[in-house]
Amino acid sequence: MLLALETSCDETSAAVVHDGVVRSNVVASQIKLHAEYGGVVPELATREHLLNLLPVARAALAQAGVTTAELDVIAATRGPGLPAALRAGFTAAQALAFALGRPCLGIHHHEAHLYSPWTAGDPLRADFGAFQPNVSLVVSGGHTMLVHVRAELEHEVLGATLDDAAGEAFDKISKLLGLPYPGGPLLDRLAEEGRADVHSFPRPLLHEPNDEFSFSGLKTSVRVFLDRHPGLAEDPVALRDLCAGVRAAIVETLVTKTLRAARRLQVPCITASGGVTCNRALRRELTAACQRAGLQLRLADPALCTDNAAMVGILAERKHRHGQGLVEVDAEPIPGWELNGAIPAPRL
Protein backbone atom coordinates (compact mmCIF):
# COMPACT_ATOMS: atom_id res chain seq x y z
CA MET A 1 0.00 0.00 0.00
CA LEU A 2 1.63 3.20 -1.21
CA LEU A 3 0.85 6.86 -0.48
CA ALA A 4 2.16 9.37 -3.05
CA LEU A 5 2.34 13.17 -2.78
CA GLU A 6 2.75 15.71 -5.60
CA THR A 7 3.51 19.41 -4.97
CA SER A 8 5.89 20.43 -7.76
CA CYS A 9 3.85 23.36 -9.06
CA ASP A 10 0.30 24.52 -8.38
CA GLU A 11 -1.63 21.33 -7.61
CA THR A 12 -1.50 19.70 -4.19
CA SER A 13 -2.24 16.03 -4.73
CA ALA A 14 -2.21 12.77 -2.79
CA ALA A 15 -2.98 9.27 -4.07
CA VAL A 16 -3.12 5.77 -2.67
CA VAL A 17 -1.89 3.03 -5.01
CA HIS A 18 -2.05 -0.70 -4.38
CA ASP A 19 -0.72 -3.34 -6.74
CA GLY A 20 -1.02 -1.12 -9.85
CA VAL A 21 -4.51 0.12 -8.98
CA VAL A 22 -5.20 3.76 -8.11
CA ARG A 23 -7.34 3.49 -4.96
CA SER A 24 -7.73 7.28 -4.64
CA ASN A 25 -6.35 10.40 -6.33
CA VAL A 26 -7.22 13.71 -4.68
CA VAL A 27 -6.12 16.95 -6.37
CA ALA A 28 -6.51 20.45 -4.88
CA SER A 29 -5.92 22.90 -7.70
CA GLN A 30 -4.71 26.44 -7.01
CA ILE A 31 -5.64 27.75 -10.46
CA LYS A 32 -8.19 30.28 -9.14
CA LEU A 33 -5.68 31.72 -6.66
CA HIS A 34 -2.98 32.29 -9.29
CA ALA A 35 -5.41 33.47 -12.01
CA GLU A 36 -5.54 36.90 -10.37
CA TYR A 37 -1.78 37.30 -11.05
CA GLY A 38 -1.78 35.80 -14.55
CA GLY A 39 0.63 33.01 -13.58
CA VAL A 40 1.87 30.86 -10.70
CA VAL A 41 3.25 32.88 -7.74
CA PRO A 42 5.76 30.54 -6.02
CA GLU A 43 5.30 31.92 -2.47
CA LEU A 44 1.52 31.56 -2.70
CA ALA A 45 1.85 28.06 -4.17
CA THR A 46 4.02 26.97 -1.23
CA ARG A 47 1.64 28.47 1.34
CA GLU A 48 -1.29 26.65 -0.28
CA HIS A 49 0.61 23.35 -0.37
CA LEU A 50 1.34 23.67 3.35
CA LEU A 51 -2.33 24.44 4.06
CA ASN A 52 -3.75 21.72 1.81
CA LEU A 53 -1.28 18.87 2.13
CA LEU A 54 -2.67 17.22 5.26
CA PRO A 55 -6.37 17.58 4.35
CA VAL A 56 -5.64 16.25 0.84
CA ALA A 57 -3.59 13.32 2.18
CA ARG A 58 -6.27 12.50 4.77
CA ALA A 59 -8.94 12.61 2.05
CA ALA A 60 -6.88 10.26 -0.17
CA LEU A 61 -6.45 7.80 2.72
CA ALA A 62 -10.14 8.01 3.66
CA GLN A 63 -11.30 7.45 0.06
CA ALA A 64 -9.03 4.43 -0.19
CA GLY A 65 -10.22 3.18 3.22
CA VAL A 66 -6.64 2.98 4.47
CA THR A 67 -4.95 4.19 7.67
CA THR A 68 -1.35 5.43 7.88
CA ALA A 69 -0.47 2.28 9.83
CA GLU A 70 -1.36 0.20 6.76
CA LEU A 71 1.03 2.09 4.46
CA ASP A 72 4.07 0.13 3.29
CA VAL A 73 5.76 2.80 1.18
CA ILE A 74 5.61 6.61 0.95
CA ALA A 75 6.60 8.50 -2.21
CA ALA A 76 6.71 12.12 -3.36
CA THR A 77 7.82 14.20 -6.31
CA ARG A 78 11.47 15.15 -5.71
CA GLY A 79 11.90 17.36 -8.78
CA PRO A 80 11.89 19.20 -11.07
CA GLY A 81 9.62 22.03 -9.96
CA LEU A 82 9.35 25.13 -7.80
CA PRO A 83 11.95 24.69 -5.02
CA ALA A 84 9.83 25.59 -1.99
CA ALA A 85 6.73 23.88 -3.40
CA LEU A 86 8.66 20.64 -3.94
CA ARG A 87 10.07 20.84 -0.44
CA ALA A 88 6.58 21.00 1.09
CA GLY A 89 5.51 17.60 -0.29
CA PHE A 90 8.88 15.88 -0.30
CA THR A 91 9.63 16.78 3.33
CA ALA A 92 6.16 15.69 4.42
CA ALA A 93 6.70 12.31 2.73
CA GLN A 94 10.13 11.89 4.36
CA ALA A 95 8.71 12.80 7.79
CA LEU A 96 5.80 10.38 7.47
CA ALA A 97 8.03 7.56 6.23
CA PHE A 98 10.49 8.22 9.05
CA ALA A 99 7.73 8.23 11.69
CA LEU A 100 6.22 5.00 10.34
CA GLY A 101 9.59 3.33 9.78
CA ARG A 102 8.76 2.82 6.09
CA PRO A 103 10.81 3.39 2.92
CA CYS A 104 10.50 6.75 1.14
CA LEU A 105 10.87 7.23 -2.63
CA GLY A 106 11.75 10.43 -4.50
CA ILE A 107 10.14 10.51 -7.95
CA HIS A 108 11.01 12.52 -11.06
CA HIS A 109 7.93 14.54 -12.10
CA HIS A 110 8.48 14.20 -15.87
CA GLU A 111 9.19 10.49 -15.54
CA ALA A 112 5.81 10.15 -13.80
CA HIS A 113 4.14 11.96 -16.74
CA LEU A 114 6.16 9.82 -19.17
CA TYR A 115 4.73 6.51 -17.89
CA SER A 116 1.20 7.84 -17.14
CA PRO A 117 -0.25 6.67 -20.51
CA TRP A 118 0.15 3.07 -19.30
CA THR A 119 -2.47 3.62 -16.60
CA ALA A 120 -6.09 3.56 -17.75
CA GLY A 121 -9.61 2.37 -17.00
CA ASP A 122 -12.06 2.77 -14.15
CA PRO A 123 -10.61 2.27 -11.60
CA LEU A 124 -7.34 3.51 -13.04
CA ARG A 125 -5.01 0.53 -13.31
CA ALA A 126 -1.42 0.22 -14.55
CA ASP A 127 -1.15 -1.92 -17.68
CA PHE A 128 2.61 -2.39 -18.12
CA GLY A 129 1.94 -5.86 -19.52
CA ALA A 130 0.92 -4.07 -22.72
CA PHE A 131 4.14 -2.06 -22.80
CA GLN A 132 5.67 -1.42 -26.23
CA PRO A 133 8.87 0.50 -27.01
CA ASN A 134 7.69 4.00 -27.85
CA VAL A 135 8.38 7.61 -28.63
CA SER A 136 6.69 9.71 -25.99
CA LEU A 137 5.56 13.32 -26.18
CA VAL A 138 5.57 14.89 -22.70
CA VAL A 139 3.84 18.19 -23.11
CA SER A 140 2.62 20.52 -20.39
CA GLY A 141 2.90 24.03 -18.96
CA GLY A 142 6.44 23.52 -17.71
CA HIS A 143 7.87 20.99 -20.14
CA THR A 144 7.77 19.87 -23.77
CA MET A 145 9.99 16.97 -24.75
CA LEU A 146 10.28 13.91 -26.93
CA VAL A 147 11.57 10.80 -25.20
CA HIS A 148 12.60 7.43 -26.60
CA VAL A 149 11.35 4.74 -24.19
CA ARG A 150 13.18 1.53 -25.10
CA ALA A 151 11.83 -0.54 -22.24
CA GLU A 152 10.05 0.09 -18.98
CA LEU A 153 12.20 2.51 -16.90
CA GLU A 154 14.73 2.75 -19.76
CA HIS A 155 14.41 6.04 -21.57
CA GLU A 156 16.41 8.78 -23.21
CA VAL A 157 15.37 12.37 -23.93
CA LEU A 158 15.59 13.02 -27.69
CA GLY A 159 14.90 16.74 -27.56
CA ALA A 160 13.04 19.37 -25.60
CA THR A 161 11.86 22.92 -26.02
CA LEU A 162 14.57 25.54 -26.49
CA ASP A 163 12.38 28.22 -24.90
CA ASP A 164 8.66 28.15 -24.00
CA ALA A 165 6.88 24.87 -23.33
CA ALA A 166 3.77 24.23 -25.48
CA GLY A 167 1.40 24.82 -22.54
CA GLU A 168 3.27 28.00 -21.68
CA ALA A 169 2.85 29.13 -25.32
CA PHE A 170 -0.89 28.37 -25.14
CA ASP A 171 -1.14 30.34 -21.88
CA LYS A 172 0.97 33.33 -22.99
CA ILE A 173 -0.77 33.65 -26.37
CA SER A 174 -4.16 33.35 -24.63
CA LYS A 175 -3.11 36.27 -22.45
CA LEU A 176 -2.27 38.32 -25.58
CA LEU A 177 -5.76 37.47 -26.85
CA GLY A 178 -7.28 38.76 -23.60
CA LEU A 179 -8.24 35.33 -22.18
CA PRO A 180 -7.95 34.58 -18.43
CA TYR A 181 -5.14 32.37 -17.01
CA PRO A 182 -4.56 29.52 -17.68
CA GLY A 183 -5.73 30.16 -21.21
CA GLY A 184 -4.86 26.78 -22.77
CA PRO A 185 -8.18 25.02 -22.08
CA LEU A 186 -10.26 28.10 -23.05
CA LEU A 187 -8.27 28.72 -26.24
CA ASP A 188 -8.88 25.06 -27.11
CA ARG A 189 -12.64 25.46 -26.58
CA LEU A 190 -12.83 28.66 -28.66
CA ALA A 191 -10.69 27.08 -31.41
CA GLU A 192 -13.32 24.34 -31.80
CA GLU A 193 -15.66 27.08 -33.15
CA GLY A 194 -13.05 28.81 -35.32
CA ARG A 195 -11.50 28.26 -38.75
CA ALA A 196 -7.89 27.11 -38.64
CA ASP A 197 -7.06 28.27 -42.18
CA VAL A 198 -7.82 32.00 -41.84
CA HIS A 199 -4.49 32.82 -40.20
CA SER A 200 -1.28 30.95 -40.84
CA PHE A 201 1.15 31.26 -37.95
CA PRO A 202 4.71 29.89 -38.05
CA ARG A 203 5.43 26.21 -37.30
CA PRO A 204 8.72 26.66 -35.43
CA LEU A 205 11.55 24.17 -36.21
CA LEU A 206 9.05 22.00 -38.11
CA HIS A 207 11.49 21.14 -40.88
CA GLU A 208 14.68 21.11 -38.82
CA PRO A 209 16.22 17.61 -38.61
CA ASN A 210 16.11 17.48 -34.81
CA ASP A 211 13.70 16.62 -32.00
CA GLU A 212 13.66 20.10 -30.51
CA PHE A 213 10.84 22.60 -30.17
CA SER A 214 10.66 26.38 -29.92
CA PHE A 215 7.45 28.27 -29.30
CA SER A 216 8.54 31.78 -28.32
CA GLY A 217 8.72 32.91 -31.99
CA LEU A 218 5.09 31.88 -32.47
CA LYS A 219 4.14 34.02 -29.49
CA THR A 220 6.03 36.99 -30.98
CA SER A 221 4.36 36.47 -34.33
CA VAL A 222 0.90 36.58 -32.68
CA ARG A 223 1.91 39.74 -30.80
CA VAL A 224 3.10 41.43 -34.01
CA PHE A 225 -0.11 40.38 -35.78
CA LEU A 226 -2.26 41.82 -32.97
CA ASP A 227 -0.25 45.08 -33.01
CA ARG A 228 -1.01 45.37 -36.73
CA HIS A 229 -4.70 44.56 -36.24
CA PRO A 230 -5.65 46.36 -33.03
CA GLY A 231 -9.02 45.38 -31.58
CA LEU A 232 -9.36 42.30 -33.81
CA ALA A 233 -9.30 39.87 -30.87
CA GLU A 234 -12.33 41.66 -29.42
CA ASP A 235 -14.47 40.44 -32.31
CA PRO A 236 -15.87 37.03 -31.24
CA VAL A 237 -15.61 35.45 -34.71
CA ALA A 238 -12.08 36.76 -35.33
CA LEU A 239 -11.03 35.64 -31.84
CA ARG A 240 -12.18 32.08 -32.56
CA ASP A 241 -10.33 32.04 -35.90
CA LEU A 242 -7.18 33.33 -34.19
CA CYS A 243 -7.46 30.60 -31.53
CA ALA A 244 -7.90 27.95 -34.21
CA GLY A 245 -4.89 29.28 -36.16
CA VAL A 246 -2.64 29.29 -33.09
CA ARG A 247 -3.77 25.83 -32.00
CA ALA A 248 -3.19 24.41 -35.50
CA ALA A 249 0.38 25.78 -35.52
CA ILE A 250 1.24 24.24 -32.15
CA VAL A 251 -0.51 20.92 -32.78
CA GLU A 252 0.95 20.41 -36.28
CA THR A 253 4.45 21.02 -34.91
CA LEU A 254 3.99 18.57 -32.03
CA VAL A 255 2.39 15.85 -34.16
CA THR A 256 4.79 16.10 -37.10
CA LYS A 257 7.93 15.96 -34.96
CA THR A 258 6.59 13.12 -32.80
CA LEU A 259 5.70 10.99 -35.83
CA ARG A 260 9.02 11.73 -37.50
CA ALA A 261 10.96 10.58 -34.42
CA ALA A 262 8.85 7.41 -34.16
CA ARG A 263 9.51 6.56 -37.81
CA ARG A 264 13.24 7.21 -37.47
CA LEU A 265 13.55 5.04 -34.36
CA GLN A 266 11.21 2.39 -35.78
CA VAL A 267 9.14 2.04 -32.62
CA PRO A 268 5.67 0.46 -32.85
CA CYS A 269 4.00 2.91 -30.48
CA ILE A 270 3.58 6.59 -29.59
CA THR A 271 2.45 7.88 -26.20
CA ALA A 272 1.52 11.38 -25.02
CA SER A 273 1.10 12.86 -21.55
CA GLY A 274 1.00 16.13 -19.61
CA GLY A 275 -1.59 18.92 -19.39
CA VAL A 276 -1.55 19.80 -23.12
CA THR A 277 -2.58 16.20 -23.90
CA CYS A 278 -6.07 17.40 -22.85
CA ASN A 279 -6.08 19.48 -26.06
CA ARG A 280 -8.80 18.17 -28.33
CA ALA A 281 -7.02 18.92 -31.59
CA LEU A 282 -3.82 17.27 -30.36
CA ARG A 283 -5.73 14.11 -29.37
CA ARG A 284 -7.56 14.02 -32.73
CA GLU A 285 -4.49 14.75 -34.88
CA LEU A 286 -2.27 12.27 -33.06
CA THR A 287 -4.98 9.62 -33.41
CA ALA A 288 -5.34 10.27 -37.16
CA ALA A 289 -1.58 10.41 -37.78
CA CYS A 290 -0.93 7.16 -35.89
CA GLN A 291 -3.74 5.42 -37.79
CA ARG A 292 -2.20 6.54 -41.10
CA ALA A 293 1.26 5.39 -40.00
CA GLY A 294 0.04 2.08 -38.55
CA LEU A 295 1.34 2.95 -35.09
CA GLN A 296 -0.24 2.15 -31.76
CA LEU A 297 -1.14 5.25 -29.72
CA ARG A 298 -1.58 5.61 -25.97
CA LEU A 299 -2.83 8.98 -24.78
CA ALA A 300 -2.78 9.67 -21.04
CA ASP A 301 -6.20 9.39 -19.43
CA PRO A 302 -7.62 12.95 -19.04
CA ALA A 303 -7.61 12.42 -15.23
CA LEU A 304 -3.84 11.87 -15.39
CA CYS A 305 -2.90 14.60 -17.92
CA THR A 306 -2.61 17.54 -15.53
CA ASP A 307 -0.50 17.20 -12.41
CA ASN A 308 -1.63 14.47 -10.01
CA ALA A 309 -0.20 12.10 -7.41
CA ALA A 310 -1.62 8.93 -8.99
CA MET A 311 1.02 8.95 -11.74
CA VAL A 312 3.69 9.51 -9.07
CA GLY A 313 2.36 6.56 -7.05
CA ILE A 314 2.16 4.19 -10.02
CA LEU A 315 5.75 4.95 -11.03
CA ALA A 316 6.92 4.76 -7.40
CA GLU A 317 5.44 1.26 -7.10
CA ARG A 318 7.32 0.11 -10.23
CA LYS A 319 10.53 1.71 -8.97
CA HIS A 320 10.15 0.14 -5.55
CA ARG A 321 9.81 -3.28 -7.16
CA HIS A 322 13.02 -2.64 -9.08
CA GLY A 323 14.78 -1.37 -5.94
CA GLN A 324 15.07 2.16 -7.35
CA GLY A 325 14.29 5.65 -6.08
CA LEU A 326 14.80 5.15 -2.34
CA VAL A 327 15.78 8.31 -0.47
CA GLU A 328 17.15 8.93 2.99
CA VAL A 329 15.32 11.14 5.45
CA ASP A 330 17.78 13.99 4.83
CA ALA A 331 17.72 13.83 1.01
CA GLU A 332 17.02 17.18 -0.65
CA PRO A 333 14.48 17.99 -3.37
CA ILE A 334 16.08 18.59 -6.80
CA PRO A 335 14.32 21.59 -8.44
CA GLY A 336 16.41 21.41 -11.65
CA TRP A 337 16.51 17.60 -12.01
CA GLU A 338 17.06 16.58 -15.66
CA LEU A 339 15.19 13.51 -16.90
CA ASN A 340 18.43 12.08 -18.29
CA GLY A 341 20.32 13.09 -15.16
CA ALA A 342 21.60 10.56 -12.65
CA ILE A 343 20.12 10.54 -9.16
CA PRO A 344 22.57 12.64 -7.17
CA ALA A 345 24.57 10.76 -4.54
CA PRO A 346 23.29 11.21 -1.00
CA ARG A 347 24.95 13.97 1.04
CA LEU A 348 27.68 12.75 3.34
Supply the minimum distance, in Å, between the C-beta of residue 271 and Zn ion: 15
Closest distance of CB 55 from ligand KG4, Å: 20
Q: What are the E-state strand segments in the chain?
A: 2-6, 11-18, 21-29, 73-79, 104-108, 119-120, 125-126, 134-139, 144-151, 154-160, 269-273, 296-299, 326-327
140 scored as a contact of Zn ion (CB under 5 A): yes
Helical (H) or strand (E) element with 307:
none
- Residue 318: how many other CB atoms lie within 10 Å: 17
Residue among 9 and 135 whose Cβ is closer to Zn ion: 9
Task: Annotate 154-188 with DSSP letters as a single string.
Answer: EEEEEEEBSSS-HHHHHHHHHHHTTPPSSHHHHHH
How far does CA 31 lie from the centroid of its chain? 15
Nearer to ligand KG4, 246 or 331 (CB): 246
Q: Which stretch binds ligand KG4 (CB under 6 A): 60-68, 85-93, 96-104, 183-191?
A: 183-191
Closer Cβ to ligand KG4, 97 or 271, answer by number: 271
Question: What is the bridge-based pairing of β-strands 104-108 and 144-151?
Answer: unpaired
Q: Kindly tell me which of 79 and 183 has the beta carbon lying closer to Zn ion.
A: 79
Reply yes or no: is the peptide bond before residue 123 cis, omega within 30 of 0: yes
**Rounded Cα–Cα distance for residues 331 and 319 (Å):** 17
* Residue nearer to ligand KG4 on the CB measure, 97 or 114: 114
- Decide: is 194 part of the binding site for ligand KG4 (CB under 6 A): no
The answer to whether residue 185 forms part of the interface with ligand KG4 (CB under 6 A) is yes
Pairing of strands 11-18, 2-6: antiparallel
Question: Which residue, 158 or 276, has its beta carbon nearer to Zn ion?
Answer: 276
Q: Is 140 in the site for ligand KG4 (CB under 6 A)?
A: yes
| Distance from C-alpha of 62 to C-alpha of 25, rounded to nearest angstrom | 11
307 touches Zn ion by CB under 5 A: yes
Nearest to 271 by CA among 249, 286, 291, 281: 286
CB of 109 to Zn ion, least distance (A): 6
CA 280 to centroid of chain Cα atoms: 16
Among 184, 194, 245, 333, binds ligand KG4 (CB under 6 A): 184
> From edge to edge, which strands make up the β-sheet containing 154-160?
154-160, 144-151, 134-139, 269-273, 296-299
Residue 327, φ and ψ in degrees, nearest 5: -125, 150
- Residues numbered 291 to 320 that lie near ligand KG4 (CB under 6 A) are 306-307
**Contact range with ligand KG4 by CB under 6 A, out of 37-45, 167-175, 204-212, 292-300:** 167-175
Given the complex with ligand KG4, which of 35 and 288 has the nearer CB atom?
A: 35
Choose from Zn ion, ligand KG4, none: what does 306 bind? Cβ within 5-8 Å by kind.
Answer: ligand KG4
When CB distances are held under 5 to 8 angstroms depending on the partner's kind, the choice from Zn ion, ligand KG4, none that residue 301 binds is: none
Q: Could you give the string, one character per residue 261-290, with x where binding to ligand KG4 holds by CB under 6 A and - elsewhere? A: -------------xxx-xx-----------
Decide which of ligand KG4, Zn ion, none touches 81; Cβ closer than 5 to 8 Å per partner kind. Answer: none
The smaller minimum CB distance to Zn ion, of residues 81 and 204, is found at 81
Element holding 195 (H helix, E strand): none
Closest contact distance (angstroms) between CB of 161 and ligand KG4 is: 12
Torsion, CA 80, CA 82, CA 87, CA 92, rounded to 10: -90
Residues that bind ligand KG4 (CB under 6 A): 9, 140-142, 167, 170-171, 182, 184-185, 188, 274-276, 278-279, 306-307
Contact positions toward Zn ion, by CB under 5 A?
A: 140, 307
